[in-house]
Amino acid sequence: MEALAARLSQLDSHVEGAIRVVMFYDTLMRRRVDLPALARASAGLAECPAGIRLHGAGRPIHFSPDGTAASAPAPTASSTAPITLDEEEIGAVWLERTGPAGPLDEVLLDRLAIAAAAVVERYGPARTTMADPALVELAISGDSDAAARARALRLLGFATGVPLRVVAVRSSVPLDRISAALCPDRPVKAAPLGDVGVVLASAVAVDRLPAGVRAGIGTADSPERSWGEARTALRFATERRPVVRYDGLGALALLAQVPQDAARGNADVAAIGLVAGAPEDLETLEAYCATGSLRRAADRLHLHHSSVARRLDLIGKALGIELTTPAGLIRATLALTAWRLLDS
């Protein structure tokens, strides 16, 4: 490279300068610098403020030529160039010269944009919580091809090959709070899709979720399958069991595939709907089905076991099910779960 630069420098001083700019950025990339270091070095080379902004990444990266972080960017840049990755514009770079543009500004910005795209591809954009819903949908959609999905995940900041969890949430709590709690120390992105919030994270800490949040966690390796699992798991979430992992459902997940009309037409499911008209009875049945024990249900309900026994006897007669038998417990649990899925 140095020999080529020496030969070209004999032809044109502008070409020599351009080659030196190219070599400058090649050296930065070999050192695997991040975006702030890239902007700082560019400002020093250009001897004027330089900036990098990624779409949807919050505040821009902006440095003065002395290497210090600059204040807010100027209203208009003296020259600018788009950052392009996989034929998609993902941001922009710019210089803020007070006088006329320098002879090498165009070359400098071109190389800065290429270097910024390479950094984004390697490390992902600066961490933010909320993301473009269209980009998130592209990353988890079963209709996306593998290349489009990989590009979307890369633009969201997830490295190729890194395990990813997809979480479907429903809550009045702001989605950015939920996602920050779910994954406090690793990359996380979130966006609303219809009436469900989507969280993409490399790991999840469900014990940190705020109260009142219902969440379904997908466990498949691929984002599109994990999203489908997360939505299914969310349907099983209740007030007593607000967080559900798909792999914890086992055979119960099959109930989510039962057509709604078929479930409504089932006698046991219809009977659960009648019992649900009395909140105390429904709570008692839920506690018994969840624990499988009259005494443990009584402990959960803070009632004497004889009181719970009397309630279950009346509920069993209303359902036409002998609840104290193993078969009756299974039958009531399936009917209650199917009824809950209708409500979801």
Structure tokens at 259: 């057509």
Question: 258-343, superfamily in CATH?
Answer: PucR C-terminal helix-turn-helix domain (1.10.10.2840)
Neighbouring C-beta atoms of residue 209, cutoff 10 Å: 21
Alpha carbon distance 28, 12 (integer Å): 25
Alpha carbon distance 207, 204 (integer Å): 9
pLDDT at 126: 45
Q: 239: which residues sit within 8 A by CB, 6+ positions away?
A: none
* CATH 3.40.50 correct for 2-123: no
| pLDDT tens digits along 195-240 | 899 999 888 888 888 889 999 999 998 899 999 999 999 999 998 8
| pLDDT tens digits along 30-83 | 888 888 899 999 999 999 999 998 875 557 888 999 988 877 666 667 899 999
Domain boundaries, the chain: 2-123, 133-253, 258-343
Whether residue 162 contacts residue 223, with contact meaning beta carbons closer than 8 Å, is answered with no
Whether residue 171 contacts residue 212, with contact meaning beta carbons closer than 8 Å, is answered with yes
Q: H or E element: which one contains 54? A: strand 50-54
pLDDT at 4: 38
**Positions in the chain short of pLDDT 50:** 1-11, 125-127
Q: 272: which residues sit within 8 A by CB, 6+ positions away?
A: 285, 319, 335, 336, 338, 339
Q: What are phi and psi of 244, to 5 degrees?
A: -130, 125
Q: Is 193 exposed, middle or buried (0-12, 13-18, 19+ CB in 10 A)?
A: middle
pLDDT at 151: 85
